Structure 1
Amino acid sequence: MKVSLNLIKQLINFELPPVDELVARVNQQLGGVEEVIDLKAKYGGARIVRVVECVKHPDADRLSVTKIDDGGAVADVPRDDNGLVQVVCGAPNVHADMWAIWLPPKSTVPASFDNDEPFVLDARPLRGVLSQGMLAAADELAIGTDHEGIIEIHERDVPAGVELTAGAGFAETFGLDDYVLDIENKMFTHRPDCFGQLGVAREIAGIFHQQFVSPEWYKSEQQFTGAEGLELTVTNDVPELVPRFMAVAIKDIEVKPSPLWLQCQLVVMGGKPINNIVDATNYIMLMTAQPTHAYDYNKLRGSTLGARMARDGEKVSLLNGKEYELTSDDIVIADGEGVIGLAGIMGGTDTEVSGETKNIVLECANFDMYALRRTAMRHGIFTDALTRFNKGQSPLQNAAVLKQLMSMVGGVQASEVFDKRNDRLMVVQHDSRVTFGSAGKETISIFDWGAVTGVLVLESTFVNERLGTEFSPQEICRILKNVEIKAHEEPEPNTPYQFEVIAPFWRTDLELPEDIVEEVGRLYGFDKLPRQLPRRSIKSTPKNLRRELKNAVRQSLSRAGVNEVLTYSFIHERILKNAEQDVAQAYKLSNALSPDLQYYRLTVLPSLLDKVHANIKAGHDEFALFEMGKGHIKMHGLDEDGLPEASQFTDIVYAAKKPGTGAPFYKIRRLVEQLAHDLGTELVFKPIEQERNFPVTAPFDQSRSALVETTDGRFIGMVGELKQSVIKSFKLPAYVAAASLDTAGLEAVYVKRGSHYQPLSRYPSTSRDISLKVPAQVNYASVHDRVKNVIDSHQELHIVITPISIYQPEDDNSTKTITFNIKFTSLERTLTDKDITPIIEEIVAAAAELGAVQA
Structure 2
Amino acid sequence: MAYNWDSMKVSLNIVKSLVNFELPPVDELVARVNAQLGSVEKVIDLGAQYKDARIVHVVQCEPHPNADRLHVCLIDDGGAVANIPRDDKGYVQVVCGAPNVHADMWAVWLPPNSTVPASFADAEPFVLGARKLRGVLSQGMLAAADELAIGTDHDGIVEISGRDMPKGVVLQAGDSFAQVFGLDDVVLDIENKMFTHRPDCFGQLGVAREISGIFGQAFTSPDWYTVAQKFADGSGLKLNVYNDIPDLVPRFMAVAVKNVTVQPSPLWLQCQLVAMGGKPINNIVDATNYIMLMTAQPTHAYDYDKLRGGKLGARMAREGETIALLNGKTYTLGTDDIVIADGERAVALGGIMGGADTEVSSDTNNVVLECASFDMYAVRKTAMRHGVFTDALSRFNKGQSPLQNAPVLKRLMGMIGGEQASEVHDKKQFSDEFDEYFAGKYTPANIDINSSFINQRLGLQLTDSDIYTLLNNVEVHSHGPEDKLGYTCVQVPFWRTDIELKEDVVEEVGRLYDFSKLPRELPQRSTKPAPKNPRRELKRQIREQLSRAGANEALTYSFVHEHILKRAEQHADQAYKLSNALSPDLQYYRLSVLPSLLDKVHANIKAGHDEFCLFEIGKGHDVRLPHSEDGLPSERTFVDAVYAAKKARASAPYYQVQRIAVRLLGSLGAQFELIPMAAENDDGKELSGVEFEVAAPFDRQRSAWILCGKERLGIVGEFKQAVRRNFKLPEYAAGFSINFDQLLAQPRDEQAYRPLSRFPSTSRDVSLRAPRDVSYAELYHVVQAAVDESAGDITVTIEPRAIFQPANDHSIKTTTFRLRMTHYERTLTDADAKPIVDRVATMALAKLGAECV
TM surpasses 0.5: yes
Which one of the candidate residues 453, 462, 480 is aligned to 1:462? 453
Which residue of the partner structure matches residue 693 of structure 1? 687
* Structure 1 contact 427–436 (Cα < 8 Å) conserved: no
Write the distance in 2 (CA, Å) between the matches of 1:273 and 1:705. 76
Cα displacement (A) at 1:150: 2.6
Measured after TM superposition, the shift of residue 765 of structure 1 is 2.2
Q: Tell me, in whole angstroms, the C-alpha distance in 1 between the residues paired with 2:357 and 2:619.
A: 54
Q: Contact 2:444–2:496 (CA<8 Å) still a contact in 1?
A: no
Q: CA deviation at 1:12?
A: 1.2
* Distance apart, 1:753 and its partner CA: 2.2
Q: Distance in 2 between matches of 1:450 and 1:778?
A: 68
Distance, in Å, in 1 between the alignment partners of 2:89 and 2:733 is 111
TM-score by length of 2: 0.89
1:805 aligns with 2:802: yes
Cα-to-partner distance string for 1:781-840 (whole Å, 9 max, x where unaligned): 333233323433434323222121222323334433221112222333332222322332
1:435 and 1:538 map into 2 onto residues whose CA distance is: 39
| Cross-structure match for 1:69 | 76
**Match for residue 293 of structure 2?**
286
Residue 282 of structure 1 deviates from its aligned partner by 1.4
| Alignment-derived partner of residue 154 in structure 2 | 147
The Cα shift of 1:216 comes to 1.4
RMSD (Å), alpha carbons: 3.3
* Aligned-residue offset at 1:399: 1.7
| Pair 1:419–1:713, CA change in 2 (3 A) | closer
Q: 1:9 to 1:302 in 2, by over 3 A?
A: same
Q: CA deviation at 1:687?
A: 5.2
Is the CA contact 1:679–1:750 (under 8 Å) kept in the aligned structure 2? no
Report the counterpart of residue 298 of structure 1 in structure 2.
Answer: 305
Q: Could you tell me which of 565, 584, 588 is aligned with 2:554?
A: 565
Equivalent residue letter for 2:437: F
> What is the percentage of aligned positions where both structures have the same residue?
62
1:477 Cα shift? 2.9
CA distance in 2 between counterparts of 1:707 and 1:378 reads 47
Cα distance, 1:714–1:279 mapped onto 2, change above 3 Å: closer
Q: Show structure 2 runs of 5+ residues with no match.
A: 1-7
Corresponding position of 2:471? 480
Secondary structure of 1:469 counterpart:
coil
Per-residue deviation, 1:623 = 4.5
Give the whole-Å Cα distance in 2 for the aligned partners of 1:668 and 1:64.
99
Distance in 1 separating the partners of 2:359 and 2:629: 50
Shift of 1:548: 4.0
- The CA distance in 2 between the partners of 1:284 and 1:853, in whole Å, is 96
C-alpha distance 840-400 of structure 1, shift in aligned 2 (>3 A): same
Of 461, 485, 506, the residue aligned with 1:495 is 485
Aligned to 1:547, the other structure's residue is in SS state: helix
In the aligned structure 2, how far is the partner of 1:682 from the partner of 1:314?
A: 60
Correspondence for 1:440: none
Question: What secondary structure sits across from 2:309 in the alignment?
Answer: helix
Counterpart for residue 85 of structure 1? 92
What is the match of residue 18 of structure 1? Answer: 25
State the distance in 1 between where 2:815 and 2:137 align.
123
The corresponding residue for 1:366 is 373
Task: Report the secondary structure of 2:767's partner residue.
Answer: strand
Query: Given that residues 429 and 449 in structure 1 are in contact (C-alpha distance below 8 angstroms), is that contact kept between their aligned partners in structure 2?
Result: no
For 1:535, the equivalent position in structure 2 comes to: 524
Alignment of 1:588-627 (within 5 A): 600-612=589-601, 623-627=612-616
Partner of 2:4: none
1:84, distance to aligned residue in structure 2 (A):
3.3
Change (3 A) 1:671 1:272: same
Stretch of structure 1 that moved more, 773-782 or 814-823? 773-782
Structure 1 residue 401 corresponds to structure 2 residue 408: yes
Task: Decide whether the 8 Å contact of 2:291 with 2:412 is kept in 1.
Answer: yes
- Partner secondary structure for residue 301 of structure 1: coil
C-alpha distance in 2, partners of 1:513/1:666? 58
SS in 1 for 2:211: helix
Measured after TM superposition, the shift of residue 197 of structure 1 is: 0.8
Matched, 1:789 2:785: yes
The aligned counterpart of 1:773 is: 769
Q: 1:827 aligns with which of 819, 824, 828?
A: 824
TM-score when scaled to structure 1? 0.89
Residues 583, 99 of structure 1: alpha-carbon distance in 2 compared, 3 angstrom cutoff: closer
Q: Which moved more, 1:684-693 or 1:214-223?
A: 684-693
Q: Distance in 1 between matches of 2:383 and 2:738?
A: 47
In the aligned structure 1, how far is the partner of 2:98 from the partner of 2:565? 80
Cα distance in 2 for residues equivalent to 1:774 and 1:836: 23
Q: Does 1:384 align with 2:385?
A: no
Cα pair 2:239 2:422 within 8 Å, conserved: yes
Give the C-alpha shift of residue 701 in structure 1.
5.0
Would the aligned equivalents of 2:643 and 2:735 in 1 still touch at CA under 8 Å? yes
- 1:416–1:93 CA distance, 2 compared to 1 (3 A): same
Alpha-carbon distance between aligned partners in 1 of 2:272 and 2:278, rounded to the nearest angstrom:
8
Moved more, 691-700 or 208-217: 691-700
Other-structure match for 2:5: none
Q: Which amino acid aligns with 2:765?
A: D
Q: Secondary structure at the match of 1:436?
A: helix
Gaps of 5+ in 1: 438-447
More displaced stretch, 339-348 vs 726-735: 726-735
Task: Give the secondary structure class of the aligned counterpart of 1:803.
Answer: strand
Native 8 Å contact 2:787 2:839 kept in 1: no
> In 2 relative to 1, CA 179–583 (structure 1 residues): closer, same or farther, beyond 3 Å?
closer
1:644-683 equivalences in 2 (<5 Å) = 644-655=633-644, 659-679=648-668
Whether the 8 Å CA contact 1:569–1:631 is kept in 2: the answer is yes
Distance 1:203 1:575 in 2: 56
1:183-332 alignment, distance < 5 Å: 183-332=190-339
Question: 1: distance between equivalents of 2:371 and 2:750?
Answer: 66
Q: Which residue number in structure 2 is paired with residue 849 of structure 1?
A: 846
For residues 465 and 218 of structure 1, the distance between their equivalents in structure 2, rounded to whole angstroms, comes to 36
1:1-29 deviations in Å (ceiling 9; x for gaps): 11111111111111111111111111111
| Residue 102 of structure 2 is aligned to residue 95 of structure 1 | yes
Query: Distance between the aligned counterparts of 1:765 and 1:542, measured in 2?
Result: 40
Post-superposition Cα deviations, 1:603-626, rounded to whole Å, max 9, x if no partner, equal 434444455566667776654433
Out of 356, 359, 362, the residue aligned to residue 363 of structure 2 is: 356
Query: Quick check: 361-370 or 594-603, which moved more?
Result: 594-603
Q: Offset of 1:201 from its aligned partner?
A: 0.9
- Aligned partner letter, 1:785: H
Question: Are 1:230 and 1:251, in contact at CA under 8 Å, matched by a contact in 2?
Answer: yes
CA shift, 1:484, in A, is 2.0
Deviates more, 1:830-839 or 1:621-630: 621-630
Matched, 1:510 2:499: yes
Farther-moved stretch of structure 1 (159-168 vs 470-479): 470-479
1:33-44 maps to which residues of 2 (within 5 A)?
A: 33-44=40-51
Question: Is the alpha carbon distance of 1:824 and 1:194 closer, same or farther for their aligned partners in structure 2, counting shifts above 3 Å?
Answer: same
Matched with 2:112 is: 105
Higher mean C-alpha displacement, 522-531 vs 95-104: 95-104
Deviation by residue 1:542-600 (Cα, 9 ceiling, x = unmatched):
55444343333334333434343334444566666666667787666666656765655
Are the equivalent residues in 2 in contact too, given 1:428–1:449 (CA < 8 A)?
A: no
Counterpart amino acid of residue 768 in structure 2: L
Output the CA distance in 2 between the equivalents of 1:101 and 1:450. Answer: 50
Aligned to 2:760: 764
Residues 330 and 787 (structure 1 numbering): CA distance in 2 closer, same or farther, change over 3 Å? closer
Partner-residue secondary structure (3-state), 2:231: coil
